[in-house]
Structure 1
Amino acid sequence: MTIKNEPLISVIVPIYHVEQYLRRCIDSIIGQTYKNLEIILVDDGSDDGCPAICDEYARKDNRIVVIHKDNGGLSDARNVGIDIAKGEYLAFVDSDDYIHKDMYRILMKELIKSDSDVSMSTYKYVYDGKPDEQDITYEEDYSIETMSGIQAQYSYYSDDKKLELTVAWNKLYKKELFSDLRYPKGKIFEDEFTTYKALYRSKNICLVNLPLYYYLQRNDSIIGVMNGKRNAKVVDGYLQRIEFYNKENEDELWCKAVMHCIHMICYLKSCNKELDSSNADIFETYRKDLLKLICNNRSAYKKLSKCQKVEIRLFKISSSLYYQVWNKYKKS
């Protein structure tokens, strides 16, 4: 495939205070074997060396577009990139991560072959202070899984690919999926609010079982400091998903989302026993919000199993008591 008949991919890179990692990230994108790229570097008000690095790369590669903006957060930076993207396809790379040289060549090939709206890869953890991963050449015998948008929702609750199905960065999307879809400003765990909606509206989704994305683990990253009140905010995304399934009349998915949310509220609360009373109130607020959503959808509630209804009654009495019982049952 030559660049003349390669569809244009817009790769959006939100950038903030990642001077140490940025060159590696950009190098991995400009070194792709798939060449027809629009590389959108969104400097989100970074006051380190990142703005100068972005401008330096733009002078060397005419595929690079640089946006300098006031700090607005990861979601805002991604949205700015989506708004100006010219490609038929979108991709996202976090600026402290990097990607395999064949990532977009393989994802595009399999997306077209399977007539999908989204293709995605698996990922590999990489660690601060460790040597960079060296790309290997993959043969053509890797496995492919295909699923519909609805099947992807069920897979989120039933298999071990929860992260692959949640994050923005391991995927290649048809841009039309984002025609009216943007990331929520001011939210952390923004992917929990957005990716499932793009997948839901997809006709087909293709999963390439190759670790083409290198996901950096940093102690100072959002994930690296997942504790306390900040960690609990992921529940906002779970609650929104319940409302989404209700609106779409997806009763079975609504039931799965409700039970998942109950389990996560209780689990997160148990992991954050060090919270003071003012911060601990966030879990009580989430419990009340969830119970309100359950009460507002009686038709879907009827489709819960007897066991699940018992769980909800126990959760209604006390989330701490519920978790003790549930955890003991799970261990047994």
Structure 2
Amino acid sequence: MGNPLVSVVIPAYNRPDTLKIAIDSVLEQTYPNIEIIICDDSTDDRVQEMLDPYLDPNPKIKYHRNERNLFLENWHKCYDLASGEYINYLMDDDVFHKEKIAKMLYFFNDFDNITLVTSYRQTINETGDFLPPLRATSRLYEETRILEGKLLGNLALTRCLNVIGEPTTVLFRKKDLTEPFGFYKGKQYSLINDFAAWLSLLCKGKAVYISEALSYFRLHPNQNNNKMGFAAFSQWLEIIIASREDGFLDNKELFKTALLSYRERVNHYDQFAEDIKRIDKLLITLD
């Protein structure tokens, strides 16, 4: 079947030091046919200056500096510029295991109807030392599994946790993502854009969960997730409800579990009072 082109797409922003580590982890991949698309949304020249020595000797790296900040559109720009049959986002502060792409592509090549391959991701700190897992990053299974996409989606929806992984974690076939990355059912999700994309893929086929750590998720004080804070959770209720159109949460008990999970997480926060009222009305219709 040859070695199809894999596009590793990196939306970069003001992190030249960790970006260098991220790029090196792609260049060290055992899989041979990879291009790297970097779209730079930085507010200064540090990323470009760091990259200059890389570009001439590495024609597989394609660098684009934005004339203005594109924010979420930068994610779409990376995707649109990618030529590969397969796509793997890489956050500019994360790292790939050297066999990530090879081990994930195996499942696309040898099994039918796979639309998403993910894995356990090891959390690391600013200096790359291993950290204990977070609730969302805990290992789902002790062995590698192929499972129905909707089953994996339901596992995340009923917990209100992105147990599937951050953008770095997942490899997918470009043609299978029929909406722009971060869209689900025609709506752009800004704070859980990765999970929105995963649902779009999971409703179309099977998923693979690899129990081995094939990526490294860096936790640090300047992380975007930290800046978004609890506001990121506000989009979960919308996606829980929308997901039923694609057959997720397809019985009352699953839907009720997801609603109650969300309610429990936001119950003590005044800013979610309207969400709680909405959930209570939905729960009445389910009883």
Distance 2:165 2:216 in 1: 16
**TM-fit CA distance, 1:39:** 0.8
Match of 2:150 in 1: 150
Q: 1:106 to 1:45 in 2, by over 3 A?
A: same
1:36 paired with 2:33, answer: yes
Q: How does 1:221-260 map to 2 (within 5 A)?
A: 221-223=223-225, 225=226, 230-248=228-246, 250-252=250-252, 253-260=254-261
2:7 is matched with which residue: 6, 10, 18? 10
* 1:90 pairs with 2:87: yes
Answering whether residue 161 of structure 2 is matched by residue 176 of structure 1, we say: no
Change (3 A) 1:54 1:34: same
Is contact 2:124–2:217 with CA below 8 Å preserved after alignment?
A: yes
Contact 1:32–1:103 under 8 Å retained in 2: yes
1:54 to 51, 56, 65: 51
TM-score w.r.t. structure 1 length?
Answer: 0.72
Shift, 1:263, TM fit? 1.4
CA–CA distance in 1 between the matches of 2:189 and 2:44? 20
1:5 is paired with a residue whose SS is: coil
TM-score (normalizing by structure 2)? 0.82
Distance (Å, rounded) in 2 between the aligned partners of 1:163 and 1:186: 14
CA distance in 2, matches of 1:294, 1:245: 19
Whole-angstrom distance in 2 between the partners of 1:186 and 1:241: 9
Task: Report SS of the residue matched to 1:60.
Answer: coil
**5 Å matches for 1:58-137?**
58-69=55-66, 70-73=68-71, 75-115=72-112, 116-130=114-128
Paired AA for residue 122 in structure 1: Y
Paired residues, number: 268
Q: State the shift of 1:178 in Å.
A: 1.8
Instruction: Specify the alignment match of 1:292 in structure 2.
Output: 278
Given the alignment of the two structures, is residue 197 of structure 1 paired with residue 210 of structure 2, yes or no?
A: no
The residue that corresponds to 1:329 in the other structure is none
Judge conservation of contact 2:94–2:216 (CA < 8 Å) in 1: yes
Secondary structure at the counterpart of residue 213 of structure 1: strand
The unaligned stretches of length 5 or more in structure 1 are 134-141, 270-280, 305-332
Whole-angstrom CA distance in 2 between matches of 1:154 and 1:58: 42
Query: How far apart are residue 245 of structure 1 and its match?
Result: 2.7
Confirm or deny: 8 A CA contact 1:23 1:53 kept in the other structure.
Answer: yes
Contact 2:89/2:167 (<8 A) preserved: yes
Contact 2:8 2:90 in 1 (8 A): yes
Would the alpha carbon gap of residues 112 and 237 (structure 1) be closer, same or farther in structure 2, given more than 3 Å must change?
farther
Q: Percent identity?
A: 18
Tell me the CA shift for residue 235 of structure 1: 2.7
Rg (Cα) greater in structure: 1
Aligned CA distance change for structure 1 residues 254 and 301 (closer, same or farther; 3 Å): farther
Distance change in 2, residues 1:72/1:257 (3 Å): farther
Shift of residue 256 of structure 1?
3.0
Q: 2:208 aligns with which of 201, 206, 209?
A: 206
Secondary structure class of the residue paired with 2:63? strand
8 A contact 2:177–2:197 mirrored in 1: no
Report the CA distance between 1:118 and its aligned residue: 1.2
Alignment equivalent of 1:187, drawn from 176, 186, 190: 190
Post-superposition CA distance 1:274-316 (Å, at most 9, x none): xxxxxxx5x2xx3314533664x6xx85445xxxxxxxxxxxx
Q: Looking at both structures, which has the greater relative contact order when contacts are Cα pairs under 8 Å and sequence separation is at least 6?
A: 2
Note if contact 1:243-1:293 (Cα within 8 Å) is conserved in structure 2: no
Q: Which runs of 5+ in 2 are unaligned?
A: 132-141
C-alpha displacement of 1:158: 6.0
The runs of at least 4 aligned residues of structure 1 exceeding 6 Å deviation read none
SS in 2 for 1:66: strand
Deviations 1:156-211 (A, max 9, x none): 2568x94441422211101122222332678334324432232223x110111111
* Aligned AA (2:74): A
User: Measured at CA, do residues 204 and 247 of structure 1 come closer, stay the same or move farther in structure 2, by a change above 3 Å?
Assistant: closer
Helix, strand or coil for the counterpart of 2:164? Answer: helix
User: Is the Cα contact below 8 Å between 1:93 and 1:169 reproduced in 2?
Assistant: yes
Once the two structures are TM-superposed, the CA of residue 217 in structure 1 deviates from its matched residue by 1.3
Q: Does structure 1 retain, via aligned residues, the 8 Å contact 2:122–2:130?
A: no
User: How large is the Cα RMSD of the aligned pairs?
Assistant: 2.8
SS of aligned partner of 1:165: coil
